[in-house]
Each structure stands twice: as C-alpha cells, then as structure tokens.
C-alpha cells in the first residue's frame, strides 16, 4: 500500500532486536515495519539507526510574554526555541515544569490557572509534542480537589520542592498532596535537597567570606540531597504515591533509592547529563558560574555511580532539566552561592552526549540508551507505546541516528538562546541526521524543517503510567512466573486508556496492533457474555509462552479481570468487545506479553504488558510487525492487508471451560 512517507533502509531498533527494514508512515503513525511498501515521499536512511524520538520529561521552557509579566530574569528559551533545540538533538516530546506566577492582580496563580495559561502559551510555539507538570508551590493552600482536577484534565503529575524549607517541614501538606496524586493516578515529582540544610550551609559560607559562586557545591552538600531523598522515600512508603526523584546527583542518594526500590516502593529516579559528564572540579575554573545547577556537580565517584546506575537499571531516565541562561546572566558578578542562577541548556546535547559517552564507550547498550532517553519516560508518564517505541501504531517520532557522525560541540551555533554549552569543545560521536515528528521530517542534515505550533499537547490521565507495585496482584505474579523473563516491577506498564481515547476512531486503537515488547502470545476468549442477569461478563485468557525453552507451552487458562458491569454504556461495552476481538485475532499482542486486560467500573480498559522476553532472532524475511508462527517449520503469516490488523488466529485454541 502507499504511505505518506517511507523511510528506506534504516536499522530499526526495538528492544533486544535490530533489523534493517523500511518504515511505512501514514497519518503521523508508524503503519508498517519491513516488507514491501511505497510512499508519496521517501527518505533514504541506509546506515542510520531508527530509534524512538527522545522523551525529555524535564524542561523549563518559558512561553512568550511570561518573562515580561513576571518582571525578573527567567530562562531564555520559549517553546519554539526549545523545540528547535530538542529536535536538533533527536528529542520529539518534552515535559515542561509549569510554575504558578503572580497573575495580573499580583496574587499567585493556582496550579490549575498556571496550567491554563501555559497551555495557551505553548500551543502556538511548540514544534515538539509536550505535556506539563503542574508545580505545587504551596500545596497546603490548594483549592479542594485541585490535584484530582488537574489529573482529570490530562495533567497527571505534580511537582514539589523539598528544597523549600517551609514546604519540607510541612509533612501533612506533602502527604496530602502525594495522597491526592496517588488517588488521581498522578506521578509525584520531587526536587530532593533539604531546604533547611541548604539555608544553613549558604549562610555559613557567606559569613565565612566564601560566598562566591565558586563555592556553590559546598552550599548544597550531598547530605542535603540524601536527607531529602529519605523524605521522598518516606512519602512513597506512607502514601503509596509513585514518587519520581528529579535530577538525582549523588552515589549516596542513588543508594537510598536502590534500597527503596528493592523493597518494592514505587520510586523512580531521573538524572541529568551534567552529573554524568562533569564533576565539581569545574568550579575551579574562572567561569565556574556557568556550571551552576542544583544539586551541584559532584565528585568523580558520584559520576561513576550514576553511570553504573544507568547500566544496572537503578536510574530510569536521563532528562535534560533544560533551564537555559545566557552566559552573561550566569556570570553576573553580583550573584553568590545562594543567588546563583541555576540550570543550563541541554536539550540539544542530551542524546548525542549520552550516546557518545555511553553507547560508543560501551558503558551502556543501545537498548539502554533508548530506554533512558525515551521508553522509560514514556512509560512513567503514561505515553507508552504511543511514544518511546518504534512499533506499528506508535506515533512516527523517529530519530534517524548517524552512529558515526563526529562533531565538536559549539553552543554558539546551536538552537538554544543560551548561546553556549557546558560541553563546548567536546568531541562527540553520533548525532541524528533526520528527525521525524508525527510523520513529518522536522530536521534534516542540520536544518530545522518544522514550524511553531506543529507540536501537540499530550493528555495524560489516571489510566496512564506504570502499574504501581501495589497493583501487582499475586495472580499477576503467578502468571508471570510461568514465563521466562525479568521480574515484575517498574517494567510492568499498562497500555493506556482505550475508552476515553477518541483519537483512535472506530477501529482498534493502533497501539493495540503492535507492541515493541517481544514474544509470548495471548489469546483472549470471551465466555459467558450475557450481562442481562447483572453478573459480570467474564473473559478467559490463554497464554502461550514462547520464550526460550518454553516453546509452545500453554499456560493454564486464567480468568482475567476484564468485565463489563451492569449499566455500562453500550459504546464502552462495544469497545470492550472490539478490543477483545482484536486480541482474539491474535497478532496485535501476539508479540507482547500481555498479562492483564480489564475494564474497571469507570469503563477504563487497561492492558498490562510485561517486560520483554528474550526471543531468538526471527528470519530476516519476516516483517517486523508481523505475527509469528512458532510451530516447527511454521512460516510467518502476513497481517490483513491494508488494515494493520492481524491475520485470523490459528485454529488450535481449545474451547475454554466454563467458570474457573
């Protein structure tokens, strides 16, 4: 069939697998991977890696007009210059921090009002897709139900600063906000530095005549980070809230998180490039202030621990914390250890620096690079696999990466208005040659080819995100044990909301048609479908595990948690049926380890997929998006032509028994 765009010959990177294959794109989404195809437009990408466009969940872009309104210096990139910086470095989605500022009357906005303002400001500027994290500066003063209302309108995260001593001391307010976030399905982002310790350290330095910015690292010691991380872990423990620690910087803090995660607490860890590439020796340089970010640059041992954390899975995401200032603003001699301007430009350099220093050097694998820069953030913030995956049905956000390209970083000629980079002069290997955003070429050979407003807001709601550990039921665990593969935990992700997602129209949601997660077939069979008596409709799932050494093992049928309740409206019920038909048809999830599929009383469907399961390399003739036949001598089968739908199931299903 003809597509809008065909990318020819790139090596498609999916978890555990590489294959040179053409990519067919239609309607802004990936429609076919591999096989024969033609396109209205074609892009030659031989020798390039096709990886998911980056998902940078932590940026500080300031829409136009806001700087004038607040009346004090702010970060210098708006959503347009920030988008350009993102795209030029392979990033196609950003999550921006939305600060309440004084409104026209001088009163501080509510988080909801700030979101409304920023939504309007970003819409005309952004060329990447974007989502917003509402910042709660004063959670104790929030209007009743604000966190839930924010999540209900698609902003399913909150951010709070433990570096604010008043807020850090107000445990009831913190716990209430985290509890509300947990109830609303939101992620709680926390800046982890102990505000009281910071204040004391800063005062002491100034009193001792050591107040210059060169002493900034001493004003924000590791102990302050560890104390706040302990507090954050306590919040996760006491509320069950999913806590996401932004820009973690030290070995000691990482160790606390590692232990908390081992204990099953829903604690996610982000770090940022500064801590991976630079150490506090930079503060011996005459222009030390240009390296200021909070937490500050740490020791070499911290840097090594963070790299080990990336490789070992203890760190979930690398995000830019793009917070750009001009060099002149950073080097303002009036600033001291307390007032130093925090943050650096890093959107354009995040992925190339991590690739060069991580993948090229062998510190991390290419799969880990993709997970850290795209897939994990997409999972945590409820965007996976629409974002963060090269898969049929996913948005066509693709960085076509030239792994051999060498470049010297030169911030003066990059997209951010910052005008400099903390990595100026670094030699890097690996840079995107083309970046495709929603099927449009947004960057080609160094040129930005997108426009302000080409980006779209990404709603996130209560069904989005990673399955909290608390929701991993014993049954789920039992099912998982039947398949080889990694343990349950942070990788268990519900594929998000079907019922409320209108963009998919009438057909099965495109993301249902494929998954980047490899292997194990699932067949759902409906049973006892009458709901007239008011009993739940039951469904049975039969799982065929196909991992190594488990060829054709058929798991026992498991009743799943999918049911429609009395009073469920017919559109929702028909969607349940639609989705189940899609699953019954085999292929949509045939390559995923679907374990749970349910409709809750709010008519929300969840597909909870498991972690990747290693599978043997498929024959090269097979289309990437194609159902796989594991019978000895079996041949791959094509999907239904033109529909993106799978072929009909093989007739070897047994009829399910009633009940269970």
User: Binding residues for Zn ion, per CB under 5 A?
Assistant: 321
Nearest residue (CB) to Zn ion, 118 versus 321: 321
Residue 167 C-beta: closest distance to Zn ion, Å? 16
C-alpha 87/C-alpha 640 separation (Å) is 35
Nearest residue (CB) to Zn ion, 354 versus 396: 354
Cis bond before residue 385 (omega within 30° of 0): yes
Nearest residue (CB) to Zn ion, 190 versus 267: 190
Nearest residue (CB) to Zn ion, 321 versus 626: 321
C-alpha 259/C-alpha 242 separation (Å) is 16
C-alpha 410/C-alpha 424 separation (Å) is 5
Residue 163 C-beta: closest distance to Zn ion, Å? 11
Asked whether the beta carbons of 193 and 222 are under 8 A apart, the reply is: no
Residue 128 C-beta: closest distance to Zn ion, Å? 17
Read off φ and ψ for residue 435, nearest 5 degrees: -130, 125
Nearest residue (CB) to Zn ion, 297 versus 607: 297
Residue 296 C-beta: closest distance to Zn ion, Å? 14
The count of C-alpha atoms lying within 13 angstroms of the C-alpha of 58, restricted to the half-sphere facing its C-beta, is: 28
C-alpha 651/C-alpha 648 separation (Å) is 9
Nearest residue (CB) to Zn ion, 118 versus 367: 118
Nearest residue (CB) to Zn ion, 29 versus 298: 298
Please enumerate in sequence order all residues whose Cβ is within 8 A of that of 129, keeping only pairs 6 or more positions apart, or say none: 92, 93, 94, 387, 395, 397, 437, 438, 455, 456, 457, 458
Residue 247 C-beta: closest distance to Zn ion, Å? 6
Nearest residue (CB) to Zn ion, 187 versus 568: 187
**Which residues, listed in sequence order, are joined to residue 595 by a DSSP beta bridge?**
none
C-alpha 70/C-alpha 101 separation (Å) is 7
Read off φ and ψ for residue 114, nearest 5 degrees: -65, -40
Residue 83 C-beta: closest distance to Zn ion, Å? 18
Structure tokens at 68: 């004038």
Closest residue by beta carbon to Zn ion: 321
Residue 159 C-beta: closest distance to Zn ion, Å? 8
Nearest residue (CB) to Zn ion, 321 versus 402: 321
DSSP state at residue 414: S
* Distance set, CA 267 to CA 241, 320, 483 (Å): 9, 19, 26
DSSP assignments along 220-255, one per residue: S-HHHHHHHHHHHHHHHHHH--EEEE-S---HHHHH
Residue 323 C-beta: closest distance to Zn ion, Å? 6
* Distance set, CA 597 to CA 8, 220, 290, 424 (Å): 36, 46, 50, 49
Nearest residue (CB) to Zn ion, 22 versus 321: 321
Asked whether the beta carbons of 8 and 649 are under 8 A apart, the reply is: no
Residue 58 C-beta: closest distance to Zn ion, Å? 6
Residue 97 C-beta: closest distance to Zn ion, Å? 6
């Amino acid at each position: 069939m003809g597509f809008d765009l065909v990318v020819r010959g790139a090596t498609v990177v999916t978890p555990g697998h590489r294959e040179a294959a053409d990519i067919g794109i239609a309607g802004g989404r990936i429609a076919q991977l591999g096989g024969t195809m033609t396109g209205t437009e074609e892009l030659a990408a031989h020798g390039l890696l096709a990886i998911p466009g980056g998902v940078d969940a932590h940026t500080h872009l300031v829409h136009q007009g806001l700087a004038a309104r607040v009346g004090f210096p702010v970060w210098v990139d708006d959503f347009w210059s920030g988008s350009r910086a993102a795209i030029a470095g392979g990033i196609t989605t950003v999550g921006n921090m939305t600060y309440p500022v004084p409104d026209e009357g001088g009163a501080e906005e509510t988080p909801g009002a700030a979101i409304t303002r920023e939504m309007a400001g970003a819409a005309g500027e952004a060329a990447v897709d974007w989502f917003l994290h509402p910042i709660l500066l004063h959670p104790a003063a929030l209007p009743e139900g604000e966190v839930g209302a924010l999540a209900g309108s698609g902003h399913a995260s909150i951010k709070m600063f433990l570096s604010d001593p008043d807020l850090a001391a107000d445990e009831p307010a913190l716990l209430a906000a985290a509890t509300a976030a947990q109830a609303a399905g939101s992620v709680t982002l926390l800046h982890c530095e102990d505000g009281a310790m910071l204040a004391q350290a800063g005062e002491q330095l100034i009193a001792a005549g050591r107040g210059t910015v060169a002493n900034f690292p001493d004003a924000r010691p590791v102990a302050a980070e560890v104390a706040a991380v302990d507090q954050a872990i306590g919040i996760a423990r006491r509320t069950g809230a999913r806590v996401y620690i932004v820009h973690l910087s030290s070995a000691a803090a990482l160790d606390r998180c590692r232990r908390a995660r081992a204990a099953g607490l829903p604690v996610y860890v982000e770090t940022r490039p500064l801590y991976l590439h630079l150490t506090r020796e930079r503060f011996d340089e005459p222009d030390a202030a240009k390296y200021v970010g909070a937490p500050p640059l740490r020791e070499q041992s911290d840097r090594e621990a963070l790299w080990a954390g990336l490789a070992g899975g203890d760190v979930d995401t690398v995000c830019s914390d793009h917070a750009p200032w001009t060099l002149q603003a950073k080097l303002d001699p009036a600033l001291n250890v307390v007032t130093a301007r925090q943050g650096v430009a890093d959107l354009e350099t995040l992925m190339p620096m991590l690739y060069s220093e991580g993948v090229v050097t062998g510190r991390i694998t290419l799969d880990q690079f993709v997970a850290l820069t795209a897939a994990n953030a997409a999972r945590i913030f409820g965007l996976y696999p629409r974002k963060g995956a090269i898969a049929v049905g996913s948005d066509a956000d693709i960085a076509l990466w030239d792994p051999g390209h060498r470049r010297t970083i030169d911030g003066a000629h990059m997209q951010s208005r910052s005008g400099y980079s903390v990595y100026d002069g670094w030699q890097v290997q690996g840079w995107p040659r083309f970046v495709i955003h929603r099927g449009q070429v947004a960057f080609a050979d160094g040129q930005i080819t997108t426009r302000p407003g080409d980006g779209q807001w990404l709603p996130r709601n209560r069904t989005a995100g990673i399955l909290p550990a608390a929701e991993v039921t014993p049954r789920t665990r039992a099912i998982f044990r039947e398949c080889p593969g990694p343990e349950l935990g942070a990788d268990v992700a519900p594929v998000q909301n079907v019922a409320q997602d209108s963009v998919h129209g009438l057909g099965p949601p495109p993301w249902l048609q494929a998954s980047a997660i490899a292997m194990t077939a699932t067949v759902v069979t409906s049973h006892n479908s009458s709901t007239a008596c008011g009993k739940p409709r039951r469904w049975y799932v039969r799982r065929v595990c196909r991992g190594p050494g488990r060829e054709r093992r058929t798991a026992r049928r498991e009743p799943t948690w999918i049911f429609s309740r009395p009073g469920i409206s017919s559109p929702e019920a028909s969607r349940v049926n639609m989705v189940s038909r899609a699953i019954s048809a085999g292929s949509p999830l045939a390559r995923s380890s679907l374990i749970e599929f349910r409709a809750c009383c709010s008519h929300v469907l969840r597909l909870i997929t498991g972690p990747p399961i290693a599978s043997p390399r498929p024959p090269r003739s097979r289309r990437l998006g194609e159902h796989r036949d594991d019978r000895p001598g079996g041949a791959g089968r094509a999907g239904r032509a033109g529909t993106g739908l799978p072929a009909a199931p093989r007739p070897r299903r047994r009829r399910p028994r009633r009940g269970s």
